[in-house]
Amino acid sequence: MLLRASRNKFGKSRLAINNFLRSIDIPFSSYSSAHLQQKKRCALPPTKRKSHFSGPNGQKEFGVRSSVLVTLKSGDDIARFSIDPSTARNNKIQTKANEGTKHVKKSKKAKLKELRFFRLKAKKKMKSPNPEVRIRYKLGKAKRKEEWLIEKLRKFELPRGVDPICDPEILTEEERFYLKRTGEKKKNYVNVGRRGVFGGVVLNMHLHWKKHETVKVVCRPCRPGQVHEYAEEISRLSKGIIIDVAPNNTILFYRGKNYVQPHVMSPPDTLSKQKALEKYKLEQSLEHTGQYIEKLEMELEEYRAYVASYKNRDDQMAKDPKKG
C-alpha cells in the first residue's frame, strides 16, 4: 500500500512537471530525474499569447506567458514553483510604464465636464468688468480662427502643371476689330460667379467654341481689378486669345485659327464645382476675420491710450493739487 501511494504521488508530480514544461515549449524527455532534483531557472519568452495544456485531471488550463523567471524545485517527490522577486518587480514597473503611455479614452461624462469648464472660463472673460480682458479674449479667439482658416485653405492649393508649348497666334488690328464687333453681337456667354475660375468654366468655353469662334465670359460679382486676373487665368487654362476686356467686367475670348478641341476639356489642375464653393466660403470668412482683428486692435489701442491719459492726469493732480 505504501509503495502504491508513493508511486501515485510521484506520478502526479511527474505529470505536473510535464505540463509545465509543455507550456514553455520545452520537451520533457530532455530532462532527467537527476536534473529535476536541482534548481532550474526557466526564462519564459516575452509574448502575450495564451498557451493551454491539460491538467492532472484532464482539464484544460490557461496560462499567460511573461518575462518573469520561474524557479522549479523538486524534493521529497513534490514539485514546487517560485517566482524571482527581482524580475517580478521589473515586470511590474514595465507594465506600469506601458499603462502610463497608453491613451486613456475619456467617458462621455468626463468630456461634457471638460467642455463645461472651458465654457465657464470663457464666460468669465466675456463678462469681465475690465474692457481690456474682454477685448484681448476676442482678439485671441479671432487670431486662432484666422490660423485655422489659413490651414484649411492650404488644402485647396493645387500644384500648377507644366504648360504645353504652343505658338502664339498674331492677330492684326483689322482682325481684332472684326472679332470684337462680331463677338459683342453674339449671345453665347459663360458666367464666372462667386466660385471663381474652376474646371466647369473652361469646359463650357470649349463647348461654345465647337460652333462659335468667340465666347464672352461674364465675371459677376467681381472686385475692382480682379477681372484682369480672371482673364490671365482663363487664357492660360483654355489657350484662348483675349480680344477685349469691357468695363462691365466682360471678357471676350477667341479660340484661335488652328483650334482643335482637346480630349480632356476640363484641365486637371483646377478645382471641382463643390470644392471651388468651399474655397470661396473660406476666403470670405478669412477676409471678414481679418477686418474684425483690425477693428479689435484699434479698440485695444484706443482703450490703452484712454487709460494712459487718465493716469497722466491723476499724476499731475497729485503733483499740483491747486490746479485741480
Which has the closest alpha carbon to 231: 208, 213, 211, 254? 254
Cell 482678439 belongs to residue: 139
Peptide bond into 221 cis (omega under 30): yes
Per-residue pLDDT, 135: 93
The pTM is what? 0.60
Task: With beta carbons less than 8 A apart as the criterion, state whether 256 and 240 touch.
Answer: yes
Distance CA(209)–CA(50), nearest Å, equals: 72
Burial 222-232 (b: 16+ CB within 10 A, else e): beeeebeebbe
Per-residue pLDDT, 152: 94
The sign one gets for the Cα dihedral 27, 28, 32, 38 is positive
Per-residue pLDDT, 210: 92
DSSP-assigned beta bridge partners for residue 217 = 190, 251
Which has the closest alpha carbon to 276: 206, 192, 205, 161? 192
Task: With beta carbons less than 8 A apart as the criterion, state whether 283 and 294 touch.
Answer: no
Per-residue pLDDT, 83: 63
CA atoms within 13 A on the CB side of 131: 10
Task: With beta carbons less than 8 A apart as the criterion, state whether 251 and 227 touch.
Answer: yes
Q: Beta strands of 117-249 (E only): which ranges?
A: 189-192, 214-219, 241-246
Distance CA(214)–CA(219), nearest Å, equals: 16
Q: Three-state DSSP class for 57?
A: coil
Per-residue pLDDT, 228: 93
Per-residue pLDDT, 41: 44
| Segments making up each domain of the chain, as ranges | 2-92, 173-270
Residue 260 cell numbers, joined: 482643335
Per-residue pLDDT, 258: 86
Count of CB atoms situated within 10 Å of the CB of 234: 22
Which amino acid is present at 244? D
DSSP 8-state class, residue 320: -
Please identify, in words, the CATH class of the domain defined by 173-270: alpha beta
Which has the closest alpha carbon to 43: 23, 65, 73, 69? 69
Per-residue pLDDT of the chain (324 residues; tens, 9 = 90+): 544 555 565 566 667 666 665 655 544 444 444 444 444 444 444 444 444 444 444 444 444 455 556 666 666 666 676 666 665 556 555 555 555 555 678 888 888 888 888 888 888 888 888 999 999 999 999 999 999 999 999 999 888 766 666 666 888 999 999 999 999 999 999 999 999 999 999 999 999 999 999 999 999 888 888 999 999 999 999 999 999 999 999 999 999 888 899 998 998 889 999 999 999 999 999 999 999 999 999 999 999 999 888 888 777 777 776 555
